[in-house]
Structure 1
């Protein structure tokens, strides 16, 4: 029997990297995409099928999917939308350009690729689409407004798509990790430096705490888990005959999900303001 195929985005490190290797080891045919060709070269050297896919480039998304389908003969069993980045900073300091840039990648790219893949899955009569969200998709934290906004929007779009696809054999699934070992903090520094004008911000003094965390050597967060914890949930989402609509990963996600259901907004704000 031919192995099932999956297209994964954001595989240069962290969650996508672990998912690509984890699924390949389980017999999946994995197309592990990255934004930069140099990362694809590294993955190919590790035995993965890899080529560039940049969510910010519509033509590149179309070309990457075409490459994937050319290799499979026109089919694709699953899509894992994972690639994303962050722009740290207070909401009042976020320029329009910063929000435009992050939404292009974290939301519009997901949507574009997903809609193209749905056409393939409708034609073949099956498929699963898994979107990697975050605890920040339903519980915002300070200094993360841009990322919070993209993940909240993506959850709304994904939940709606799941409802609309109920009459089809295509499953739509969310994964919501909390603190996971990755390079997202280090990778956000360039975006922070390009978009946030600390010197002219009314919150200049408050940024000292953010920059200390941003530039410091990365130490594990409380309750932080390795990326393999996300892969474990992804495997269930892809292989279970009856996958869950959403999967929590890490203790903070479970705790915040409970608090979201049982506390008032005012009480929840008090909790969130401590982070």
Structure 2
């Protein structure tokens, strides 16, 4: 059988980095994309095929798809939409530009890339589209409104696409990790500093007591945090199973919150989340 190919986004670190190496070890031909060329060079030095893909840049998305297809002769077996970032801050402190910027990457770029790949998968008669959501695509948490909003939107887009693809050989799947070791918190700091004027906020003291400590202090792993290999394991199942599930939960908090969302009234679920 011919080697199966997959394009993965956000491979500079964390979940994407582990997925790229993990699937390559499982025999996949991996196109490990990153926003920055320096990260691509590092991945190439590690033996992976890597080139740039920036979700916020339509030309970059088109060029990355063209590059992948040129290397395979026009086919692509799977797409893993993993790349995303956070912009912490209270809802009332989020300017319009902050939401516009995060949606360009976490949502619009994912949609653009997916729509460029679907015709390829239709033509070849098979394909898997796996979107990396989050426990925060199931339930909200304070200070994370921008990220939560993009993941709620991604959940809706993916669920609708899955329904629409039922009459095609293309499988559409969500992976929903909870706390996983990554650099997303550190990587969110520049976006927080760019957009959130926390000192002018009526919640300034809450920022000092809570969010600033979480962003800037090294506090060790979160409760129930798992390594990114836990996500790769579920990704491999989603790609290899003849009948993949619509959703794959990763980490205990995702299982717990998924169950509580179904069982509890909203007021009770709010109480549980607010208690942390």
Q: TM-score, normalised by structure 2?
A: 0.99
Alignment correspondent of 2:261: 260
Residues in 2 aligned to 1:178 and 1:218: alpha-carbon distance in whole angstroms:
17
Aligned equivalent of 1:168: 168
Tell me the secondary structure at the aligned position of residue 51 of structure 1: strand
Which residue is 1:20 aligned to?
Answer: 20
Q: What runs of 5+ residues in structure 2 fail to find an aligned partner?
A: none
* Count of residues in correspondence between the two structures: 275
User: Offset at 1:218?
Assistant: 4.7
Q: Name the counterpart of 1:32.
A: 32
Is 1:274 paired with 2:257? Answer: no
Tell me the equivalent position of 1:248: 249
Residue number in structure 2 paired with 1:66:
66
Matches within 5 A, 1:87-98: 87-98=87-98
DSSP-derived class of the 2:131 partner: strand
Does 2:198 correspond to 1:198? yes
Q: Alpha-carbon deviations, 1:35-75, whole Å to 9, x = none?
A: 00000000000000000000000011000000000000000
Q: Does 1:235 align with 2:236?
A: yes
- Name the SS of the counterpart of 1:175 in structure 2: strand
Instruction: Specify the alignment match of 2:110 in structure 1.
Output: 110
Residues in 2 aligned to 1:37 and 1:216: alpha-carbon distance in whole angstroms: 29
Deviation at 1:151, TM superposition (A): 0.0
Q: Which residue of 1 aligns with 2:183?
A: 183
The offset of 1:2, in angstroms, is 1.9
Q: CA deviation at 1:217?
A: 1.5
Deviations 1:126-148 (A, max 9, x none): 00000000000010000000000
What is the match of residue 55 of structure 2? Answer: 55
Q: Could you tell me which runs of 5 or more consecutive residues in structure 1 were left unpaired when the two chains were aligned.
A: none
Any idea what SS the aligned residue of 2:34 has? Answer: coil
Q: What is the root-mean-square deviation of aligned Cα atoms in Å?
A: 0.5
How far apart, in 2, do the equivalents of 1:266 and 1:154 lie?
Answer: 24
Aligned equivalent of 1:152: 152
Structure-2 separation of matches of 1:213 and 1:23 = 32
Aligned to 2:225: 224
Distance of 2:236 and 2:56 partners within structure 1? 27
The residue aligned with 1:77 is 77
* TM-superposed deviation, 1:199: 1.5
**1:135 aligned onto 2:154:** no
Q: CA deviation at 1:91?
A: 0.4
Deviations 1:196-254 (A, max 9, x none): 00121010000011101100125100000000000000000000010000000000000
Q: For the structure 1 residues 180 and 198, does the alpha-carbon distance in structure 2 shift closer, same or farther, using more than 3 Å as the test?
A: same
- Give the Cα–Cα distance (whole angstroms) in 2 for the partners of residues 257 and 198 of structure 1: 32
- Displacement after TM superposition at 1:274 (Å): 1.9
